């Protein structure tokens, strides 16, 4: 399995909007992508602008398909203007 880990920092005042966008993306990925097995959205309790995603996919093909979905393209278009930073890592689950 492939794990995707993403850290986000929202622009000041945009944390609640980022939270909504991330939660919608998690729901869409789990419901619409058979290769997406797990999608956690976490928010820092001490900094409402910091978020962490942990996603699990069957394989590299599922990760590739995820990035090409209509809901992912819409998600990035809505999310990116709300962010100060985004850091993505990809790892193999042992």
Q: Which domain holds residue 10?
A: 2-92
Predicted pLDDT at 39: 98
Q: Stretch 17-39: mean pLDDT, rounded? A: 97
Q: What does the pLDDT read at residue 75?
A: 96
Q: In what order do the strands lie in the sheet with 36-43?
A: 36-43, 50-57, 2-10, 83-92
Q: Could you give the number of structural domains in the chain?
A: 1
pTM (two decimals): 0.92
* Token pair recorded at residue 47: 């900094």
Let me know: does 88 contact 6? Beta carbons within 8 Å.
yes
Residues 36, 72 contacting (CB under 8 angstroms):
no
Q: Residue 47's domain is classified under what CATH number? A: 3.30.70.100
Please, are residues 82 and 43 in contact by the beta-carbon 8 Å criterion? no
Position 76 scores a pLDDT of 95
């Amino acid at each position: 399995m492939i794990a995707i880990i993403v850290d986000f920092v929202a622009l000041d005042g945009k944390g609640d909007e980022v939270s909504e966008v991330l939660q919608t993306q998690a729901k869409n990925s789990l419901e619409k992508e058979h290769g997406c097995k797990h999608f956690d959205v976490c928010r820092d309790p001490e900094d409402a602008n910091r978020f962490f995603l942990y996603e699990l996919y069957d394989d590299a093909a599922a990760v590739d398909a995820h990035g090409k979905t209509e809901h992912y393209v819409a998600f990035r278009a809505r999310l990116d203007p709300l962010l100060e930073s985004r850091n993505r890592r990809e790892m193999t689950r042992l």
